[in-house]
Structures are given as C-alpha cells and as structure tokens.
Amino acid sequence: MSSTLQQTTAGKVRQFMGAASKQEAKQGIKVGSDIDRYNNQHDLHGGDAEARKEGYADLVNTYYNLATDFYEIGWGQSFHFANKFAGETFNESITRHEYYLAARLGIQPSDSVLDCGCGIGGPLRNLGRFTGASITGVTLNQYQVDRGNGLCTKAGLAPRCKLVKADFHKLPFPDNSFDHVYSIEACCHSPDRADVYREIYRVLKPGGCFVSYEWCLTKKHRDGDAQHMLSKKLIEEGDGLPDMMSTTHCDDSLVKVGFQVVETRDAALDPNPGGEAWYVILTPSFFNLFRLQFTAIGTFFINVFMTCLEALRLAPAGSGKVREMLRQGQLGLVMGGEMGTFTPMYYIHAKKA
C-alpha cells in the first residue's frame, strides 16, 4: 500500500474516531448501544417499513445522534447533494444549489423563512447571509440544534438565524407565520409526506411558496427488480429513512393538502455539460483524496484500523458498525444514481393561494 494511501486513510480513521468520541461526550450517548438499536429498527433481514414509520421520531433521532459529526467532518455543514458544474469546486456546487432555492422563492430581507429539517443549519446560514432574511430552522435532534445555534452565533447571524427543536409533523408555530418555507433533502425522513406538507401549508402565509429538494424513487424504479430493491433498502438503512416514496407520491401529496403546484422536476437530470452527477463524489477513485476511502483497499484499511482501535478501547465500541451503516448508504446511493432509479434532488415548487 502506498504511503499516500496509508496517510489518507489513517487520517480519515482518526477523524472518524474523534467524531465518535465527541458524540458520546457531548450527547451522553453510547455509540455501541445506539447503533445496535438503530440496526434493530431497520431489521437487516428484510425490514418492517410500517414499524419504522410508527417509530420514525426515534429512528431519525438515533440516526443523527450517530451521524451528525461524521457528516460535518466528511461533508461540511450542509448535509445534501448537488450536481457539480464544470469548473466548480464541491463547496461551490453545494452553495449554488442552495442559492437557487432562494432565487426561486424571491426571498427579501424583510421576509421570515422556515427551513424544514435543517440539520446543523448550513443552508440556513448561507441563505441568511445571502438574503438578509430571518430564517428559522427546525430539526428533531437536540444536538443539531445546539451545534447549529453555536455556529449561528459564531457567524454573527444570531438571533436572526436560529434553530429550534421540533417535529415537522407538529410545527410549534401559529398559522400563517412564514413568508416562505424550504426544505433540502429532509422530508424523506417522514413516514407521511402529505402530513408534513399539510403542516408546511398551515404555517405559510397566503401567497407564500414552498420549495424543496426531495429524496425520491424515480419512474425507473421497479419493485420487482432485485437490484432496484437492494438500492432502496441500502439507502433506507444507511440514511435513517422509514420508507422511500416516489416522485409521483410527492406530486399527489402537494395537491392533496391544497398546494398549487408551480413546478416539479428531477433536477438531477438538468443539462450539465462537462459537469459531474451528484453521486460521483461517492464513487471510488485513487485520484481523489475524499473518494479514496470508497476504494476496496481504502475500505479494508479503514476497517482494520477501526477494529484494532476498538479492541484497544481507543475508540467507542460500535464505531465500526456506524462506519459500516454509512458505507451501506453510500453503496445504495451510487447504485440508485447509476441506474437512475433514485434522485436526491426532485425539485418541487408549490404555492399557497
């Protein structure tokens, strides 16, 4: 194994182990027991989508207790994908993807905006700086609220930009509270998409708009196809999802709760000459330091290191299982992206009359 590969994968392991210890110390959790509970909720021998839907709040909260710091270390503060245009860096593509939503909404400095499913608030802060608007984010996870609000204060955006702990099925805001609402790859954690959209509709002011990037199964997905179903299963297990829905389901749910649909489309299919599809960042490569970890040799080296560190009690028990959970999600996402059966950026734009 080359010294470059050894140094890079060892660095990833150190970051990962630091994140696991950080999660335990800051949240008072035990990685080992939490990852076992999470895996039991998904039942790796087939899974019970109805049971996951019923227990969605605990499923999602447990997932982000385990994954939040790993996402921030490996991905940044904005937990979402974007197609990369020719000449763009990864971070530039992520920011541009967010600014597109602000432009479509026409957000003004005087507006009050809701980020529905905000993570640690990376998009919230980017859009807050870009538009000057007041933006409130909601997330189920208390650790994300604390981390996000600390970052808002550090960025000089508090209290205009803030995070609140809330279930997006039961938003703690009066009717007609917000000029606009957006969501970025978050409503997929819901067991009932129409119920989330109904709450968003309720808190929107008349004339306000809702825009979102949704994780969806595309029209190419076939329930009878083994590879299609494997991709779906891996994505759900690796990304804290109760059950994935189709693009058509999202369209129907918007209409069901009273929205006027302005536009829906799979933004992953937008023309992108010379650019990269959203899933390329997750594919193996020996010529990209981030993607090196997804190669067979990189995965093997990281897993050996993690096993040794857990055995020596230098890393929390269960850290290797968390890494494997995230890796399964990565495999499923790449499969779905390459087959065209899954999109993380089904764009919806709807208006409240």
Asked if the model's pLDDT at residue 5 lies above 50, the reply is: no
- pLDDT for 44 equals 45
More confident of the two residues 38 and 187:
187
Domains recognised in the chain with CATH numbers: 1-353 (3.40.50.150)
Please tell me the pTM assigned to this model.
Answer: 0.90
* Listed range (112-116, 237-241, 246-250, 318-322) with the worst mean pLDDT: 318-322
Would you say 143 and 26 are in contact if contact means Cβ atoms under 8 Å apart? yes
Work out the percent of the chain whose per-residue pLDDT is above 90. 75
Please write the tens of the pLDDT for every residue from 112-138: 999 999 999 999 999 999 999 999 999
Helix (H, G, I), strand (E, B) or coil at 238: helix
Residue 29 has a pLDDT of 63
Instruction: Report phi then psi at 185, rounded to 5.
Output: 55, 45
| pLDDT of 122 | 98
Tell me the pLDDT of the chain averaged across its residues.
Answer: 90
Q: 170-197 b/e with 16+ CB inside 10 Å = b? A: ebebeeebbbbbbbbbbbbbbbebbebb
Name the residue among 306, 334, 309 with its Cα closest to residue 322. Answer: 306
- On the question of pLDDT at 304 being above 70, the answer is yes
**318-331 confidence digits (pLDDT tens):** 888 888 999 999 99
pLDDT exceeds cutoff 70 at 3: no
pLDDT of residue 187: 97
| Choice between 311 and 17, residue whose per-residue pLDDT is larger | 311
* Numbers of helices and strands, H then E, in the chain: 12, 7
- Chain position carrying tokens 């779905």: 336
**Phi, psi (rounded to 5 degrees) for 206:** -55, 135
pLDDT at 249: 98
Q: Which of 251, 247, 285, 291 is nearest to 269 (CA)?
A: 247
Q: Is the pLDDT of residue 14 over 90?
A: no
